[in-house]
Amino acid sequence: MGTRIDNYSYEEGLNKVREFVEQNIPAQIVTINPEMYAQKEKDEYFKQILSEAEMIIPDGIGIKIALKLKGKNISRLPGIDFAKNILKLSVCNNYPVAIIGSKEEVIEKAVQNLRNEIPNINIVYYHNGYFNNNNDIYEELKKTSPKIILVALGSPKQEYFIYEAKKILSPAVMIGIGGSLDVWSGTVKRAPVLYQKLGLEWLYRTINQPERFKRIFPALPLFFIKVLKYKKEN
C-alpha cells in the first residue's frame, strides 16, 4: 500500500540503530499504525516523510493483521519497548541522549525514573513538548549534540519535528514515541500484559481515555477496508 515496513527483531533493529550512529547517518524511526496510514492519504508532506524514513517499524496489532492478510507473518515491535531498548543501547555505547515532549511535570518525572532504571544513561538535554518555535529547540539540540533523540509530541507533530531536525542537526537517530513519557513517568498506566499479548492495548487506552476514540474511528475500519481492497487487487 505504498509504505515499506521493516520486519526486524529487536536485535536487528538495534543493530541498525548502532549502524546509523556509527556511520553518522541521520535517521528517522517511525512506529507505524493505521492512523498514520489515514494521515498519509490526506497529507502529502507526511507521505514524503514516510517515504524517506530510515526505519519504519510495525507498532500495533493493526499492521500485523494487515500483513497477515497478505500472508506475511511479522512480529510487532512496539515503539515504547523499542525506544527503551535504544536507551539501554545508548548506555552500552556511550551515546548522549535528548528527550523532547509531554508536559513539564511528565517529562521531569520520566527523566528521573529513566535515570533510576537505567544507571549511567547520559541524558544531555530534555524539554517539554509545549513550545512555540521548533527552532529554539533545534538550537539547544545543536549545542548538546545528542546521538539519540526521543520525541513525544504525538503523531504527526513528532514526525514533522524529526524530519526537519534530520536536515539541520548533527547526525542523530530520532524516534517518535507518542505517549511513552506519560507511561514512563507513571502518569498513565500501560495496558496490562494480557492486553499487550492479545494486541489489545488500543482497546485498553480507549476505555481509559474515551476521547481517544475519535483517533481510531473511522481510521481503523477504513484502514482494513483498504487492506482488503488492496489484497483483492494485488
**Residue 112 carries which side chain, given as an amino acid letter?**
Q
Q: Classify burial at 128, counting beta carbons within 10 Å of its beta carbon; exposed 0-12, middle 13-18, buried 19 or more.
A: middle
162 within 8 A of 147, measured Cβ to Cβ: no
3-state secondary structure of 50: helix
- Verify binding: residue 130, ligand UDP, rule CB under 6 A: yes
**Residue 102 binds to ligand UDP (criterion: CB under 6 A):** yes
The helix/strand/coil state of 94 is coil
Q: Does 78 bind ligand UDP (CB under 6 A)?
A: no
Read off the C-alpha cell for 15. Answer: 543493530
Residue 48 C-alpha cell reads as 514524503
Q: Does 156 bind ligand UDP (CB under 6 A)?
A: no
127 binds ligand UDP (CB under 6 A): no
Work out how close the CB of 117 gets to ligand UDP at its nearest, in angstroms, rounded to a whole number.
19
150 contributes a contact to ligand UDP by CB under 6 A: no
- Give the per-residue contact string, 103-122, with ligand UDP (x = CB under 6 A; - = no): x-------------------
Q: Is 155 in the site for ligand UDP (CB under 6 A)?
A: yes
Q: State which residue, 21 or 101, has the beta carbon closest to ligand UDP.
A: 101
Which residue reads 545528542 in cell numbers? 146
Q: Where are the beta strands (DSSP E) in 5-119?
A: 27-32, 55-58, 97-101
Considering beta carbons, is residue 12 or 104 the nearer one to ligand UDP? 104
> At its nearest, how many Å lie between ligand UDP and the CB of residue 232?
30
Binding mask 164-203 for ligand UDP (x = CB under 6 A): --------------xx-xx---------------------
**Three-state SS at 3:** coil
What distance lies between CA 22 and its chain's CA centroid? Answer: 21
Residues of this chain that interact with ligand UDP (CB under 6 A) are 101-103, 129-130, 152-155, 157, 178-179, 181-182
